[in-house]
Structure formats: structure tokens, C-alpha cells
Chains A and B, each alone.
Chain A
């Protein structure tokens, strides 16, 4: 069975299981993310979405399974993968500036000990421009609003210039304008051939924003192009009975959907 696929998938997950002691958090996940797609990961609270992203990044011990990025394990291609953690996972009172946080995205390329210099600063400024935050470069990070924090995190991922972006709820708690700007940016990355896997919480916008989706609830319920995988039946499987709104959403299209 030594078949070489000429163009391996951006992300290939096989039999991934993560457990805390005997309680499985992720159970036997198989997932193929083709190169150049914008994929949402959706599922109810406690479905293991964040755990899934962390498992991909080798941030926690997996009980079983195999994860490959363009055919290689994570350690072999750190530089190709950018990570946007949940905004709430860091201390925004840390004494540092916006520009400094964005430059952290270059630390991986710099390696140990070498300090960021003029080139890193310029790239960080450029990334801030792309997220519309160039005027905030020297701001203390504790002065930022939620949406601005999210943009800074996004800029930090942009300076990595990665092939794959893993994002944990980048639209969590941002205002409508920021949401629009972030989505435009994600699409632009996709147009440039990047692959994006985005944990998303708002079922209403999945069909509008994303082209692929994975429905997750400890197990992978479904995955694939949105129009194939994002079906009422699959959603019912993922969310149980708590999605009465889906029928109307299904009939009327995403923009007319009623909030759950």
C-alpha cells in the first residue's frame, strides 16, 4: 500500500481520540480538510471543539490517532501553521504593546534567542494595516476592546505567513463591523490558497461564511462541503433536539433564520 498521493490534504486526521482519564472528549475522529478551503468547526458547548484544535497543534496528549499536515506530522511543519487561540486565553493586562504582540507571530521563524528586529517590526505593521489597526501599534494592549483584541490576534497569525490557519472562535464577542472585516480577511487568505479551520459558534452564518464544515460532538457527526454536510439531519444529530429553528433556517436560507 505504498501509494503516493500527489497532492496530500492540508489536514488529515485519522482515528483521533482524546480522553481525560476514562472520559473521551474526542472519540475516533476522522477528518480530511482539502487544501484551500475555509472550514467551520461547529458543535454544542462541550463538544470538544477547542480540544480538537489543541490536539491538532500537539498542545495536549492524544490517546490515539494520527494527524498530518500536507503529509507531515506537526513538529515537521510548525512554521506552516498559524494558531489563533481564544481571546480569553491570555492576560490582556500584560505589560506590552499591540505591535509587540503581533511580532510574537514571527518568533517561530526567529527560533530561540534571536530577537525580532526592523524586518519583524515592518511585517507586524503591515499585518496591523491589513486588519485596520495600524493606528494602534503602540497602544498598551489592556486598552483594547474585544473586537480589537481579536484583530490583533489575527494580525499575529498573519505575520506568520502560514499555509494553514487554525482559529479558535475568532468571531467570539466581536461587533458586526469587526466580524465583517475578519470574514473578508479569511476569504482573502483562502483566495491566496491558504487553508483555514475555524471554530465557529453561530450556526446562522455557517452557510454564508464558510465553504466547508465539520459538525462535532465528541464524535465527528459530518464533514464536507457546507451544502452536503450542513443538513438538518446532521445538525439534529450534533445538537440533539435543541435546534427547532433549523427547519425554518433550512427553508428560508441563512439570512432569515431565527436565533435559537
Chain B
């Protein structure tokens, strides 16, 4: 692996980690789409700051873009506060306008500089190693890597310092406000960090990858844990894995690096969504199947319990009768009986006979009476 390739992967890992940190809170606050809005709407901020400074590397670009990001959030909330537009529509109305202002400004006034519209959307991490940071005449590595690391560390500092505040404002904004933690302030603080992250990452990897890295790893981590701290750490890990995996995919198939990384983050989410041990689709299906059988066994036990020792028991306690009485298919009834039998709830009086008399075991009687009590 060449040094350039190493640098690209390292940069992508740092971008993924930096994005996953605020991304976790966006996902928990049901504001994932805000990352899409912010990562696009920062464009006019970058363009205007570039017109003012004529320098693509000016830190003013990041500040102006971050301010545009916060402005986007404010505009969305202003639209919502009129109660004439819902949040999703407000987001959909705001960011295309701002984004297209940026595009028009580039097309009209900056046709000849390195601010082209393709790079804006998809980005090109492969170019990152060419822009070196030179300190005192020495090349110390790609400039983007340093910028992204600084932003990543700022995110770590923000979330570590205000962990408790972010948690309470996200879980219970009402209580946060009542206790004096100003959830609106925390909200805009978070949005500022989302914006700074988005603009720094956008320069390195493009806006689609920013959205993917903010949302997919966090949404996947949400399905894997029940603790906020673990969710943050897992989303960083999953983001980093998507970045490296995406790069290897891009190399293997010779395709766009940013595109492959975004795809990898989607695949990671898909795998978790399907296979998460507790909240995944497959685990849920298995649970539902198990519950179906358990419920049927309990129903059988209650049915036997209700008629136990009564004259009609001789008729009621037969598989054939379950068909009429519980409207079970014969095959299903047999399987339920077999399961209840192996779980020690039910005994058969004659294993040879298909339609023999069923009887509850003491354990089955206990299960039935407990189920009735818990109704």
C-alpha cells in the first residue's frame, strides 16, 4: 500500500469518527435529515467567504460555512414556528434554496477556480494527499487530515464536556429547561458542531458522504446497544470500519472512493439492521415465532385447565376437538401438543392413539393458573 493510500484511509477514518460523534445525537433527536440540510446549505457560506478572502484554505471559510449551517437550522425552525409547514417540508424547502444559491454563485462568478460542483456533491478523497501542510519548509502530511483531526478533537471535547447536558436535553427537553440547562442553547451548540464537522468533512469527502457518515453508523449503533456511551463509541467504530471497507471496495472495483465508502456505511447498517442480536429484523422474527408457539402452548394449557375434572373433559381434551374449539388446523394442533409435551406442560394418555386424551402435568396446571392470574 502506498503512502497516499494510507493517508486517504486515515483521513476517511478521522472523517467518519468526527461525523459519528454529533451524528449520534442527531439520530437520537430524530433530526438525521438535518445533516443532509446542513451539509448542502453550507455551500453559499463557503462561496461567499471565498469571494471575500480569495483563499480556499482560509479558516474564515469554515466559520462562514458553519454560520450558514446554523442559519439553515434557524430558517427551518422559523418556517416550523409559523405552524404552516411541518419539519420535513421545512427542511426540504430550506436547503435546496441555499444550496442552489451556492451553485449559482460558483457558476456565475467562480467558473475558473477549484470549486466545482461535482466535487461538492461527491467529493474526492483521492485528491486529499496532494494538498500538503508545510510547516517551516517541511511536509508534515495532508492538510485535510490536520483540519479533520482538529474538528474531531473539538467534537470529542464538546461531547465529553457537555455529555450530561446533551443527554438530558435529548431525552427530556422539558426537564432540562426546568433545571436551567437551556435546551435551545444546547440544540444550537450541537448544530454548530454539526455544521463545523460538515464543512470540514465536505471539503475532504463531499456532502453525500458527510450525510452517510453522520447517519448510518449511528443508526446502526442504536440497534446494538442500550447505553448512550456505548452507542457513541460503536458509531465511531462502525464509521471507521465503513471508511476502511469502502476504500478497499473502491480499490477492488476501481470506483469512486467517496461513493464506495457511502455504500459501505449503508451495507454496515444493512447487516446490523438484519442481524443485531436483540433489535435486528431476524432476532425480532425469531422472537415472534417463539412467542407464537409459547402463546399457543399457554392457550392449550388454559383450555385443558378450564375443563379439567369436568364431565366434558373426555371430549374437550382431544386433539380433534382443539380443531373445532380453538379453530386450530389439525397439523398446528399436533405441533402445539408436541411442544407442550416436550416442555412438560401436557401428558398424553396413549402415545399410539392420534386422538388420545390429553392431561395437564402439575407444571402445566401451574402455568395455566399463572397465565389466568396475570390477565
Which residues of A approach B to under 8 Å, CB–CB?
A: 54, 57-59, 75, 78, 81, 83, 85, 89-91, 94-97, 100-101, 104, 107-108, 110, 112-116, 140, 142, 156
**Complex CA–CA separation, A81 to B175 (angstroms):** 11
- Contact check, A90 vs B171: say whether CB atoms are below 8 A apart: yes
- Contact check, A83 vs B175: say whether CB atoms are below 8 A apart: yes
Additional 7 contacts, C-beta under 8 A, given A104-B168, A140-B226:
A57-B174, A59-B178, A78-B178, A83-B175, A94-B171, A96-B228, A108-B180
**Complex CA–CA separation, A8 to B161 (angstroms):** 39
- Contact check, B179 vs A97: say whether CB atoms are below 8 A apart: no
| Interchain nearest-CB distance for B81 vs A (Å) | 12
Residue B172 at the A interface, CB < 8 A?
yes
- Contact check, A89 vs B181: say whether CB atoms are below 8 A apart: no
- With known contacts A95-B225, A95-B226, A112-B165, A101–B174 Cβ distance under 8 A: no
Interface residues of B in 43-86 (CB under 8 A from A): none
Q: In the assembled complex, which residues on chain B have CB atoms less than 8 Å from the CB atom of A110? A: 164
- Contact check, B178 vs A57: say whether CB atoms are below 8 A apart: yes
**Complex CA–CA separation, A140 to B225 (angstroms):** 10
Report which residue of A94, A100, A101 has the largest number of chain B beta carbons within 10 angstroms of its beta carbon.
Answer: A94
| Interchain nearest-CB distance for A157 vs B (Å) | 9
Residue B295 at the A interface, CB < 8 A?
no
- Contact check, B175 vs A104: say whether CB atoms are below 8 A apart: yes
**Complex CA–CA separation, A212 to B105 (angstroms):** 66
Q: In the assembled complex, which residues on chain A have CB atoms less than 8 Å from the CB atom of B180? A: 75, 78, 108
Q: In the assembled complex, which residues on chain B have CB atoms less than 8 Å from the CB atom of A116? A: 164
| Interchain nearest-CB distance for A13 vs B (Å) | 17
- Contact check, A107 vs B164: say whether CB atoms are below 8 A apart: yes
- With known contacts A96-B167, A115-B163, A115-B164, A81–B174 Cβ distance under 8 A: no
Q: In the assembled complex, which residues on chain A have CB atoms less than 8 Å from the CB atom of B231? A: 95
- With known contacts A115-B163, A116-B164, A81–B228 Cβ distance under 8 A: no
Pull 17 A–B residue pairs with CB atoms less than 8 Å apart, ordered by A: A54-B174, A57-B174, A81-B178, A89-B174, A94-B171, A95-B227, A96-B226, A101-B171, A104-B171, A107-B168, A107-B176, A107-B179, A107-B181, A108-B179, A112-B165, A114-B164, A115-B163
Which residues of B approach A to under 8 Å, CB–CB?
A: 28, 161-165, 167-168, 170-172, 174-181, 222, 225-228, 230-231
Q: In the assembled complex, which residues on chain A have CB atoms less than 8 Å from the CB atom of B165? A: 107, 112-113
Q: In the assembled complex, which residues on chain A have CB atoms less than 8 Å from the CB atom of B174? A: 54, 57, 59, 83, 85, 89
Q: Work out how many contacts link A and B, with CB atoms closer than 8 A.
A: 75
Q: In the assembled complex, which residues on chain B have CB atoms less than 8 Å from the CB atom of A115? A: 163-164
* Residue from A81, A89, A113 in contact with B162 in the complex, judged by beta carbons closer than 8 Å: A113
- Contact check, A97 vs B163: say whether CB atoms are below 8 A apart: no
Query: Closest residue to A166 on the B side, CB-wise?
Result: B178
Kindly list the 7 A-B residue pairs having the minimum CB-CB distance in the complex, ordered from nearest: A108-B179, A140-B226, A83-B178, A57-B178, A90-B172, A85-B174, A94-B171
* Residue from B170, B176, B222, B227 in contact with A97 in the complex, judged by beta carbons closer than 8 Å: B227
- Contact check, B226 vs A78: say whether CB atoms are below 8 A apart: no
| Interchain nearest-CB distance for A5 vs B (Å) | 26
**Complex CA–CA separation, A140 to B230 (angstroms):** 13
| Interchain nearest-CB distance for A215 vs B (Å) | 25
* Residue from A94, A101, A107 in contact with B170 in the complex, judged by beta carbons closer than 8 Å: A94
Q: In the assembled complex, which residues on chain A have CB atoms less than 8 Å from the CB atom of B226? A: 95-97, 140, 142
**Complex CA–CA separation, A133 to B314 (angstroms):** 47
| Interchain nearest-CB distance for B175 vs A (Å) | 6
- Contact check, B161 vs A113: say whether CB atoms are below 8 A apart: yes
Q: In the assembled complex, which residues on chain B have CB atoms less than 8 Å from the CB atom of A57? A: 174, 177-178
**Complex CA–CA separation, A75 to B230 (angstroms):** 35
- Contact check, A85 vs B172: say whether CB atoms are below 8 A apart: yes
**Complex CA–CA separation, A142 to B226 (angstroms):** 9
Q: In the assembled complex, which residues on chain B have CB atoms less than 8 Å from the CB atom of A101? A: 171
| Interchain nearest-CB distance for A253 vs B (Å) | 30
Q: In the assembled complex, which residues on chain A have CB atoms less than 8 Å from the CB atom of B225? A: 95
Q: In the assembled complex, which residues on chain A have CB atoms less than 8 Å from the CB atom of B168? A: 104, 107
- Contact check, B175 vs A85: say whether CB atoms are below 8 A apart: yes
Q: In the assembled complex, which residues on chain B have CB atoms less than 8 Å from the CB atom of A58? A: 177-178
**Complex CA–CA separation, A61 to B129 (angstroms):** 53
- Contact check, A78 vs B228: say whether CB atoms are below 8 A apart: no
| Interchain nearest-CB distance for B161 vs A (Å) | 6
Q: In the assembled complex, which residues on chain B have CB atoms less than 8 Å from the CB atom of A97? A: 226-227
Q: In the assembled complex, which residues on chain B have CB atoms less than 8 Å from the CB atom of A54? A: 174
